[in-house]
């Protein structure tokens, strides 16, 4: 999502923002033996997919090639139809011996790996890495160019993003539930064929198919945020095929959805407190100049004002929901804090909500012409398959709400109600929370940022501990993920791992 200059360099982080809408993905339960139990006809169908030859073509971006990978719609019934997955690559530039393909994924779920590759990774990754790897991306099934999940139309999506997610009474609760139901029903109506087949396990199997078709003996991979869950799922399914896997901004697959949402709520509170400490030092801070606690109170009061009466934002309006989303979007990178400060100043002092609306639009992949990308649709589709819903009724949300509000007085209530999204999903979940050990995998590098808003640091600690060959690398800092965000210490350690296969000392801090 390329929106404006301050946020453009953090496109990958903002893509991962989709985690909030329906609760983080956390744990499909892969069955490595599933393919071995197929009958001969199905095995022949799988072998035909593996034997396909990719036809590369220029795709409008200088230096990049694009192709289409055919994959089974259902890996348990591979002769029952196919889907087409979009793939892009930038060949290794040299000098030095080519190591193989380096697959990248920016997270989400729902982020376009191809957009990330073409707009950022193949240009910003260090030259020595680009010299020795073909940089490769595949949009996961259901995402962007790969059989995208479709749900609400653009005007309906505008209405959905403005739905009040802090209901004050039973009438507003009913309106929120109705909005979640309408969203789910629209997905079923427009995407019934693909919806049962977009789990993280399916996407991991697609990655192995691509590895085989590319002719690589091992999968080398850099995944951010949700991309770490995709990568660890791959390692669990195919430990003997894992090469050098970087899992940056790690997720903990052992947690159920409610706990993941609660942890993430606390993570955004931590990030906001860091922003507030920075803001109150400035004489023009719209949240006051006394303390972070006072800043929290002022922002909460402003959100309540917007709940009662939205303010103008160009030819649209800014209400509480969109304003909250705008603030959250800026929490992913401290480089966006000045922009957030300006946006809050305009909204709170001048009653001009256009700055916060721009931030919110970047989160939702809403373009200036009013068209939406499919990140929110794919996000819900994957999350609601991967884990049982965090909550299944408004009563459950109300019971849990005090814990969420304690975790974040600013964001807690809204994020608690967001956990109800999957309650009305048309497909039953196929996954469950569980530990991932990936015994037999090559050494895996897990990276955590201490004040990461979206993937709290303790998740990285937990994943590194679960993985039989996991090594933890820590970035003591703010923002979402660590690689390529300005730390020479982090980048040097990751680059050495990618180029030489050597993990840093376990527990190394930068």
**What positions carry a catalytic annotation?**
225, 452, 480
- Residue whose token pair is 């100043």: 345
Helices (H), 67-169: 113-116, 122-124, 127-132, 154-161
Structure tokens at 135: 């940089």
DSSP-derived letter for residue 446 is E
Pairing of the two strands 100-105 and 242-248:
unpaired
Q: For helices 154-161 and 320-330, what crossing angle results, to 10°? A: 90
CA atoms of 126 and 445, how far apart (whole Å): 18
CA 467 to chain centre: 21
Given a contact cutoff of 8 angstroms between Cβ atoms, the answer to whether 459 and 465 are in contact is no
Neighbouring C-beta atoms of residue 427, cutoff 10 Å: 18
Given a contact cutoff of 8 angstroms between Cβ atoms, the answer to whether 116 and 487 are in contact is no
Given a contact cutoff of 8 angstroms between Cβ atoms, the answer to whether 263 and 403 are in contact is no
CA atoms 403, 407, 412, 415: torsion sign: negative
Given a contact cutoff of 8 angstroms between Cβ atoms, the answer to whether 468 and 494 are in contact is no
CA atoms of 172 and 300, how far apart (whole Å): 19
Given a contact cutoff of 8 angstroms between Cβ atoms, the answer to whether 133 and 98 are in contact is yes
Neighbouring C-beta atoms of residue 492, cutoff 10 Å: 13
Given a contact cutoff of 8 angstroms between Cβ atoms, the answer to whether 146 and 138 are in contact is yes
Nearest-5° Cα angle at 285, 486 to 21: 65
Q: Which residues are CB-contacts of 428 (< 8 A; sequence separation ≥ 6)?
A: none
CA atoms of 239 and 236, how far apart (whole Å): 6
Nearest-5° Cα angle at 474, 472 to 480: 115
Given a contact cutoff of 8 angstroms between Cβ atoms, the answer to whether 468 and 456 are in contact is no
CA atoms of 98 and 129, how far apart (whole Å): 10
Structure tokens at 467: 């993985």
Given a contact cutoff of 8 angstroms between Cβ atoms, the answer to whether 237 and 431 are in contact is no
Q: For helices 354-364 and 154-161, what crossing angle results, to 10°? A: 120
């Amino acid at each position: 999502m390329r929106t404006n200059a301050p946020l453009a360099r953090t496109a990958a982080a903002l893509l991962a923002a989709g985690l909030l809408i329906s609760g983080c993905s956390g744990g499909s339960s892969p069955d490595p033996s599933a393919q071995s139990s197929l009958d001969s006809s199905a095995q022949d169908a799988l072998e035909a997919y593996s034997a396909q030859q990719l036809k590369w073509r220029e795709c409008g971006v200088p230096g990049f090639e694009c192709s289409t990978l055919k994959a089974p719609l259902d890996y348990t019934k591979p002769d029952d139809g196919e889907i087409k997955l979009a793939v892009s690559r930038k060949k290794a530039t040299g000098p030095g011996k080519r190591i193989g393909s380096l697959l990248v994924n920016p997270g989400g779920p729902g982020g376009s790996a191809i957009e990330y590759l073409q707009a950022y990774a193949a240009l910003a990754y260090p030259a020595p890495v680009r010299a020795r790897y073909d940089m490769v991306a595949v949009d996961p099934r259901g995402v962007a160019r790969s059989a995208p999940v479709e749900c609400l139309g653009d005007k309906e999506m505008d209405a959905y993003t403005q739905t009040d997610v802090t209901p004050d009474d039973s009438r507003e609760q009913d309106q929120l539930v109705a909005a979640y139901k309408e969203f789910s029903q629209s997905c079923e109506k427009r995407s019934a064929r693909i919806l049962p087949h977009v789990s993280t396990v399916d996407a991991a199997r697609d990655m192995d198919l691509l590895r085989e078709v590319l002719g690589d003996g091992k999968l080398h991979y850099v995944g951010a945020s949700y991309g770490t869950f995709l990568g660890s799922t791959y390692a669990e399914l195919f430990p003997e095929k894992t090469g050098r896997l970087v899992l940056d901004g790690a997720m903990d697959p052992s947690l159920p959805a409610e706990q993941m949402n609660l942890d993430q709520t606390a993570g955004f509170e931590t990030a906001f407190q860091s922003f507030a400490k920075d803001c109150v030092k400035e004489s023009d801070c719209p949240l006051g100049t006394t303390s972070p606690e006072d800043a929290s109170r002022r922002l909460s009061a402003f959100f309540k004002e917007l709940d009662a009466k939205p303010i103008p934002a160009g030819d649209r309006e800014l209400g509480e929901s969109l304003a909250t989303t705008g603030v959250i979007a800026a929490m992913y990178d401290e480089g966006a804090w000045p922009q957030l400060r300006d946006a809050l100043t305009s909204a709170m002092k001048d009653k001009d909500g256009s700055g916060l609306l721009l931030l919110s639009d970047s989160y939702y992949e809403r373009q200036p012409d009013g068209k939406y990308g499919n990140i929110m649709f794919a996000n819900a589709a994957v999350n609601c398959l991967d884990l049982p819903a965090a909550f299944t009724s408004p009563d459950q949300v109300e019971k849990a709400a005090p814990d969420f509000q304690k975790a974040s007085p600013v964001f807690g209530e809204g994020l608690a109600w967001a956990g109800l999204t999957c309650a009305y999903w048309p497909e039953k979940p196929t996954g469950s929370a569980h530990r991932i050990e990936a015994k037999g995998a090559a050494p895996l590098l897990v990276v955590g940022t201490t004040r990461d808003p979206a993937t709290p640091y303790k998740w990285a600690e937990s994943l590194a501990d679960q993985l039989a060959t996991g090594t933890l690398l820590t970035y003591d800092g703010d923002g979402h993920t660590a690689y390529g965000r300005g730390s020479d210490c982090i980048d040097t350690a990751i680059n050495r791992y990618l180029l030489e296969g050597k993990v840093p000392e376990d527990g190394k801090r930068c």
